[in-house]
Amino acid sequence: MSAEHAHSDRSAEHLERAFRELLAEKGIISDAAVSERLEFMYTRTPALGARVVARAWFDPGFKERLLEDGSAAVTELGIDIRGLRLVVVENTAVLHNLVVCTLCSCYPRMLLGLPPDWYKSVEYRARAVREPRAVLAEFGLSLPGDVTVRVHDSTADMRYLVLPARPTGTDALGEAQCAELVSRDAMIGVALAGSPSNVL
């Protein structure tokens, strides 16, 4: 991470701490409520999102509901997304989706845990929109020319989750095994789901 990025992160931390203290001082929110929210976020991992993806691969009805209303569908699995709107976009043979937040770093933390540093970087946020294929290539993902790349910009009240295509050769795998093939990066759109040889 560059010195400039590290400085930016520290500045954001100081600003967040000052804002939190002001809210507590005004009686708008308590330290206990903040601690509860932080604990909620730090216990989330990409495994939750992978579970959602694998269920969609195995259950066509769930997949249909997930694509129609992601927020409602994930609650069927007991996942609390705290009132945020979740939009799920599906990768196909002719369409690849990529998620970014150009204004800050809005991210589906409730399903993927904390965002990686690169997702928050100014470079990724700018270039993912301007030159998505170049960015994907830098992540090691080169797509055929006939595949459309669609970039989705998250907002403060809406998060995107990519539903990656199910890898070939997974017919003999169970749902839990397929979930192991789904990485955080695949659900952001900078990678594909893994090979079944990873779990066999």
Q: List active site positions.
A: 101, 104-106
Tokens of 61: 């009805």
Contact by Cβ (8 Å): 99, 189: yes
Can you read off the two tokens belonging to residue 62? 């769930």
- DSSP states of 17-73: HHHHHHHHHTTSS-HHHHHHHHHHHHT--HHHHHHHHHHHHH-HHHHHHHHH-HHHH
Does residue 81 contact residue 74 with C-beta atoms inside 8 Å? yes
Burial class (CB in 10 A: 0-12, 13-18, 19+), 194: middle
The span from the first CA to the last CA of the chain, in angstroms, equals: 35
